[in-house]
Amino acid sequence: MSIYDEITSVLKKTKLFKTNIIKIKDIKELELKKIIFLGKKGIFSEIFKKMSCLCQLERKKWSIEINKIKKEIQYLIKSKETKILNSNLQNKINSEKIDVTLPCKRFNIGSIHPISKTIYEIEDYFSKMGFNVVNGNFEIEDEYHNFDALNIPKDHPARESHDTFWINNNYLLRTQMSSMQIRILKENKFPVKTLVSGKAYRNDYDAKHTPMFHQIEGLVIDKKINFSNLKWIMSSFIDSFFKEKVTKRFRSSFFPFTVPSMEVDILKEEKYWIEILGCGMVHPTILKKINVNTDKYQGCAFGMGVERLVMLRNKVTDIRLFFENDLRFLKQFK
């Protein structure tokens, strides 16, 4: 077959395609035709290669003609492609119509976990009192900040593995938020009025204790701070948290990092006392360790277990319920 016969064949095929393109309804069929005509090894590519044997004048004449036809085919395929896609989209829209008059499906709306909710509530209360709320990120703590800096002696039972989760000889999972005291005092200029919340860990598990629990620690360092200031802060918070005037007592206790130290009890159902938090005046030794002038500055601190407060306010008897993810239990706190 001569080159002219092949050119004639191409012209016939393109004319036939332009006539029949209206019958194409499927995008895959159109893609196949596109490859046949416009692909790297398609009809137009092949005919342009074979036209190299023509003289310059003939090659120019037929190149213009073939290019004109090629552009027509490109336009027709592109137009048809757009039309098919639009038609498919419209069909999909029509088949997926939503009747807005139908009743909607009911979705279960989640809520904040009661522990997190209580932490936010306590943080909000103390922030309104001027406390700077800090996130205690040091869950893996060193021995110095967790014990030594807090006046906890080397032979104290809390340092033993039956009470503390040790990672190695120096690092452990912190046992209390008080470990943040030295870090806060090192990083801040006085006066200090800070509240820290976070997770603490102790090797204990029963209805009243879990290996991981949440604590909130408050620290105030300023001039002329005394126990009366601490007592007022604690009394005001307790009444606000339980949303009533609560009968309470400050009972003498011992913490290595405060002196004097107190535990705060509340009277439940006019029958028995329950301890809810610990507090005291920051031990002068702790302040001296970071070169604080104890003749000029004094401080008070308090710490509370969040789970204990939630249990008392909501009459929950087993702390483990908060971590079992039983929706029947958690839904009560919405």
> Average per-residue pLDDT in the chain?
86
The domain limits of the chain are 3-95, 114-333
Provide, rounded to the nearest whole percent, the portion of the chain with pLDDT above 90: 38
Q: Which residue has the higher pLDDT, 280 or 155?
A: 280
Amino acid at 94: N
Asked whether the predicted pLDDT for residue 269 surpasses 70, the reply is yes
Average the pLDDT over 249-256 and give the result: 92
Rounded CA separation 113/118 (Å):
9
Angle of helix 3-20 versus helix 43-50 axis, rounded to 10: 160
Average the pLDDT over 59-72 and give the result: 80
Average the pLDDT over 54-73 and give the result: 79
Asked whether the predicted pLDDT for residue 315 surpasses 80, the reply is yes
Asked whether the predicted pLDDT for residue 226 surpasses 90, the reply is yes
Rounded CA separation 287/176 (Å):
19
Average the pLDDT over 308-319 and give the result: 91
Asked whether the predicted pLDDT for residue 123 surpasses 90, the reply is yes
Q: How many CA atoms lie within 13 A of 232 on its CB side?
A: 6
32-41, 119-128, 226-235: which has the minimum mean pLDDT?
Answer: 32-41
* CATH, domain range 114-333: 3.30.930.10
Pairing of strands 132-135, 192-201: parallel
Quote the pLDDT of residue 1: 63
At 327, list the tokens: 């929706």
Q: Which residue has the higher pLDDT, 254 or 105?
A: 254
Asked whether the predicted pLDDT for residue 293 surpasses 70, the reply is yes
Rounded CA separation 193/176 (Å):
19
Asked whether the predicted pLDDT for residue 2 surpasses 80, the reply is no
Asked whether the predicted pLDDT for residue 334 surpasses 80, the reply is no
Provide, rounded to the nearest whole percent, the portion of the chain with pLDDT above 70: 99
Quote the pLDDT of residue 115: 94
Q: Which residue has the higher pLDDT, 187 or 188?
A: 187
Asked whether the predicted pLDDT for residue 188 surpasses 70, the reply is no
Average the pLDDT over 220-246 and give the result: 93
Rounded CA separation 331/324 (Å):
13
Q: Which residue has the higher pLDDT, 318 or 14?
A: 318
Most confident of 2-16, 36-50, 121-135: 121-135
> What are the pLDDT digits (tens) for 16-37?
777 777 778 888 888 888 887 7
Quote the pLDDT of residue 280: 95
Q: How confident is the model at residue 129 (pLDDT cuts 50, 70, 90)?
A: very high
Quote the pLDDT of residue 195: 94
Average the pLDDT over 123-148 and give the result: 90
Asked whether the predicted pLDDT for residue 130 surpasses 70, the reply is yes
Q: Look at the block and give the residue holding tokens 């407060």.
A: 309
94-108, 205-219, 300-314, 318-332: which has the minimum mean pLDDT?
Answer: 94-108
159 exposed, middle or buried (CB, 10 Å; 0-12, 13-18, 19+)?
middle
Asked whether the predicted pLDDT for residue 106 surpasses 80, the reply is no
Quote the pLDDT of residue 272: 86
